[in-house]
């Protein structure tokens, strides 16, 4: 078989090397419009779980990535002059340049043909590649192939409200940091992590009013850098910010209804985007590359359509779950000012649980001391303001009493008044409960 990959990002390269590794007799080529050493952005993030998957699929590339990554276990939340740490998170950062270099080297070793500085025109796919069995559209969030075949892929796209800007710094760090700063114009959050020696990623995020209030709407790239260096002078600790196409943007939320058209299949950010606040864009692309490779190797010789259907079946729900978590996290950051009257531990708990994928019980496993500190702060405030003393019994906070004027509730559990939540007349739960709990 012959496979053409349009786009030499992490997803396209990983698909190519995995497929060539399993089927060395197939001809696989990758076309990338940028030069081999061009890249945009700074670092990328992977979880321990994702790294384990890389190890099982291609130990050679895994070892090279592992040798160059910066690992951290703690998340540090900086809020109103207080630093709160939560352990047990298990992530690593690595340079996007290094990651692409490793994947390119591995592709060449396996016999994948790489062509850089060569754009693939979606209007000429059938004439330029008449003998290609499969075309993988991995050409990024602004995918020309997706847009050319928009009626077939049926993407939904919306630009979210917050403004963000991706920069770097020479400041080292041993943890993932959220630096929240309240200014007269509004709240700013810097999402930061180390990805290489003396290199860290700094993503600045704020709402539209704050962005306009600080004048970023009229600033050039270097002026934004200077303004942010002044605002975050203490956090940068004498280190400069670094630029690399560091323009202000709004996040494009993309999901394609259909993932293939004729012999074209879509992959990575071209197919589905995930907000950077849960660090899943590259992870999502590479995990989808694994599933697409598996499906193509298993089914494509018999039926390309069957391969694409198997890919869809394997990844659609997983992508929707990740994107839902990312959307929920994104929505919290769009309204982070609402939480700025909270006590420090309550705020930190909300930050950690904002995507709903990390729960109270999950945090107990990750860092019991962190949860106990948050609970203690809650019990103290409840005793101080309401007179209710749970400091000795320490129930889960949701099971403490709640009073509002003359109304008193036995606990803080609130559910929508829908019949679906009700058991039958004998008190038995049904299929609905098994599906939603």
Domain boundaries, the chain: 2-326, 359-436
**Predicted local distance difference test score (pLDDT) of residue 254:** 95
**Predicted local distance difference test score (pLDDT) of residue 47:** 82
Any idea which residue has 């053409």 for tokens? 4
Question: What's the rounded Cα separation, in Å, for the pair 255 and 165?
Answer: 22
**Predicted local distance difference test score (pLDDT) of residue 300:** 98
Question: What's the rounded Cα separation, in Å, for the pair 65 and 102?
Answer: 7
Question: What's the rounded Cα separation, in Å, for the pair 261 and 131?
Answer: 17
**Predicted local distance difference test score (pLDDT) of residue 229:** 98
Question: What is residue 128's three-state secondary structure?
Answer: helix
Pick from 2, 83, 112, 99: which is nearest to 44 by CA?
A: 99
Strands 27-32 and 113-116: parallel
**Predicted local distance difference test score (pLDDT) of residue 414:** 83
**Predicted local distance difference test score (pLDDT) of residue 292:** 99
H or E element that contains 188: strand 186-196
Q: How many CB atoms sit inside 10 A of residue 259's CB?
A: 22
Homologous superfamily of 2-326: FAD/NAD(P)-binding domain (3.50.50.60)
Pick from 15, 8, 90: which is nearest to 46 by CA?
A: 90
Q: What is the pTM of this model?
A: 0.91
**Predicted local distance difference test score (pLDDT) of residue 51:** 86
The 10s digit of each residue's pLDDT in 197-211 is: 899 999 999 999 999
Tokens of 68: 């160059």
- pLDDT digits (tens), the chain, 437 positions: 999 999 999 999 999 999 999 999 999 999 999 988 776 778 998 888 888 899 999 999 999 988 888 899 999 999 999 999 999 998 888 999 999 999 999 999 999 999 999 999 999 999 999 999 999 999 999 999 999 999 999 999 999 999 999 999 999 999 999 999 999 999 999 999 999 989 999 999 999 999 999 999 999 999 999 999 999 999 999 999 999 999 999 999 999 999 999 999 999 999 999 999 987 789 999 999 999 999 999 999 999 999 999 999 999 999 999 999 999 999 999 999 999 999 999 999 999 999 999 999 999 999 999 999 999 999 999 999 999 999 999 999 999 999 988 899 999 988 777 777 778 888 888 887 777 66
Burial classification of residue 219, based on how many CB atoms lie within 10 Å of its CB (0-12 exposed, 13-18 middle, 19 or more buried) = middle
CA 269 to each of CA 137, 141, 258, 283, 347: distance values in angstroms, whole numbers, following the listed order: 10, 5, 14, 11, 31
């Amino acid at each position: 078989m012959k496979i053409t990959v349009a786009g030499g990002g992490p997803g396209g390269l990983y698909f190519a090397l995995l497929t060539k590794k399993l089927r060395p007799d197939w001809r696989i080529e990758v076309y990338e419009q940028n030069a081999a050493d061009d890249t945009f952005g700074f670092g990328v993030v992977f979880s321990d779980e994702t790294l384990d998957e890389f190890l099982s699929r291609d130990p050679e590339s895994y070892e090279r990535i592992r040798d160059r990554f910066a690992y951290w276990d703690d998340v540090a939340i900086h809020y109103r002059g207080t630093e709160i740490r939560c352990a047990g998170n298990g992530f690593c950062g690595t340079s996007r340049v290094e990651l692409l270099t490793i994947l390119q080297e591995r592709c060449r070793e396996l016999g994948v043909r790489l062509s850089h500085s060569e754009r693939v025109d979606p209007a000429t796919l059938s004439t330029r590649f008449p003998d290609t069995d499969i075309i993988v559209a991995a050409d990024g969030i602004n995918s020309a192939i997706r847009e050319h075949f928009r009626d077939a892929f049926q993407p939904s796209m919306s630009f979210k409200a917050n403004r963000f800007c991706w920069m770097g710094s020479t400041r080292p760090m041993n943890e993932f940091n959220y630096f929240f700063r309240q200014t007269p114009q509004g709240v700013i959050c810097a999402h930061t992590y180390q990805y290489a020696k003396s290199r860290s990623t700094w993503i600045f995020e704020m709402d539209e009013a704050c962005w306009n209030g600080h004048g970023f709407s009229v600033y050039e790239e270097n002026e934004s850098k200077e303004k942010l260096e002044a605002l975050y002078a203490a956090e940068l600790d004498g280190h400069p910010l670094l630029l690399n196409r560091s323009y202000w943007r709004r996040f494009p939320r993309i999901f394609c209804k259909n993932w293939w058209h004729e012999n074209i299949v879509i992959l990575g950010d071209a197919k589905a985007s995930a907000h950077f606040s849960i660090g899943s864009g590259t992870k999502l692309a590479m995990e989808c590359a694994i599933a697409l490779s598996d499906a193509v190797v298993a089914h494509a010789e018999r039926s390309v359509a069957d391969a694409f259907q198997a890919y869809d079946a394997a990844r659609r729900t997983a992508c929707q779950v990740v994107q839902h978590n990312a959307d929920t996290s994104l929505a919290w950051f769009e309204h982070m000012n609402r939480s700025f009257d909270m006590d420090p531990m309550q705020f930190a708990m909300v930050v950690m649980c904002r995507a709903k994928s990390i729960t109270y019980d999950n945090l107990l496993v990750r860092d019991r001391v962190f949860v106990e500190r948050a609970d203690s702060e809650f019990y103290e405030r409840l005793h101080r303001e309401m007179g209710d003393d749970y400091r000795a019994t320490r129930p889960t906070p949701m099971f403490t009493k709640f009073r509002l004027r003359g109304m008193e509730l036995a606990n803080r559990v609130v559910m929508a008044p829908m019949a679906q939540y009700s058991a039958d007349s004998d008190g038995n739960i049904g299929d609905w409960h098994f599906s939603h709990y």
